[in-house]
Structure 1
Amino acid sequence: MYECKKSEQYDMADVPTYEEVTPHHRQSGAKHRLVVLVGPTGVGLNELKRKLLVSDPQHFSVTVPHTSRPKRNQENEGVEYHFISKNIFETDIHNNKFIEHGEYKGNYYGTSLDSVRSVLSKNKVCLLDVQPHTIKHLRTAEFKPYVVFVKPPPVERLRESRRNAKVISGKDDKGSAKPFSEEDFLEMVSTAQQMESQHGHLFEKIIVNDDLTAAFSELKVALKKVETDTHWVPISWTHS
Structure 2
Amino acid sequence: MKLTLEDDEGTEKSGKLWCAKKNKKKRKKMPYNSNKSEEGDVEEVLTYEEMALYHQPANRKRPIILVGPASCGRSKLHQRMLRSDSDRFADPVYHTSRPVRDGEVLGQHFHFVSRAELENDMANGRLVDVFERDRQLYGIRVDSVRQVVNSGKTCLINLYNQSPKILKLLDLKPYVVFVAPPPQERLRALMGKEGRNPKPEELREIIEKAREMEQTYGHYFDTVVVNADLEKAFGELLHHVNKLDTEPQYVPAAWLH
Range into which the TM-score falls when normalised by the shorter chain: 0.7 to 0.9
Q: Within the alignment, does 1:12 sit opposite 2:40 as a pair?
A: yes
Distance 1:61 1:20, change over 3 A: same
Query: Which residue pairs with 1:196 in the alignment?
Result: 214
CA contact (8 A) 1:60 1:126 kept: yes
Does residue 81 of structure 2 align to residue 64 of structure 1? no
Cα offset, 1:110, TM superposition: 1.3
- Bigger Rg, structure 1 or 2: 2
Aligned equivalents of 1:161, 1:87: Cα separation in 2:
40
The answer to whether the 8 Å contact 1:10/1:137 transfers is no
* Aligned residue among 50, 53, 57 for 1:27: 57
1:209 aligns with 2:238: no
- Structure 2 gaps, min length 5: 1-36
Q: Tell me how far 1:94 sits from its aligned partner.
A: 2.9
Q: How far apart in 1 are the matches of 2:93 and 2:38?
A: 22
Secondary structure at the aligned position of 2:86 is classed as coil
Amino acid aligned to 1:195: M
Q: Distance in 1 between matches of 2:125 and 2:238?
A: 32
Contact 2:58 2:245 in 1 (8 A): no
* Residue 13 of structure 1, CA deviation: 5.9
Bigger mean CA offset, 92-101 vs 111-120:
92-101
Q: Alignment identity in percent?
A: 37
- Flag the structure with more relative contact order, 1 or 2, with Cα contacts below 8 A and sequence separation at least 6: 1
Using the TM superposition, give the Cα deviation of residue 145 of structure 1 relative to its aligned residue in structure 2, in angstroms: 1.2
**Cα gap change, 1:95 to 1:141, in 2 (>3 Å):** closer
Structure with bigger strand share is 1
Distance 1:132 1:106 in 2: 16
Distance in 2 of aligned mates of 1:102 and 1:221: 30
Q: Deviations over 1:79-126 (max 9, x none)?
A: 221101233223323322112323344432211111111111111111
Q: State the shift of 1:237 in Å.
A: 1.1
Does the aligned pair in 1 maintain the 2:50–2:252 contact within 8 Å?
yes
Structure 1, 93-102 or 43-52: larger mean CA deviation: 93-102
Letter of the structure 1 residue corresponding to residue 253 of structure 2: I
CA RMSD of aligned residues (A): 2.1
Asked if the contact 1:99/1:134 (under 8 Å) is kept, the reply is no
Aligned residues: 218
Q: Partner of 1:143 in structure 2?
A: 172
Equivalent AA in structure 1 for residue 49 of structure 2: E
Partner of 2:14: none
Q: CA deviation at 1:199?
A: 1.1
Please identify, of 41-50 and 135-144, the stretch whose mean Cα deviation from structure 2 is larger: 135-144
Partners of 1:204 and 1:132 in 2: CA distance:
18
User: Structure 1 residue 132: deviation in Å?
Assistant: 6.9
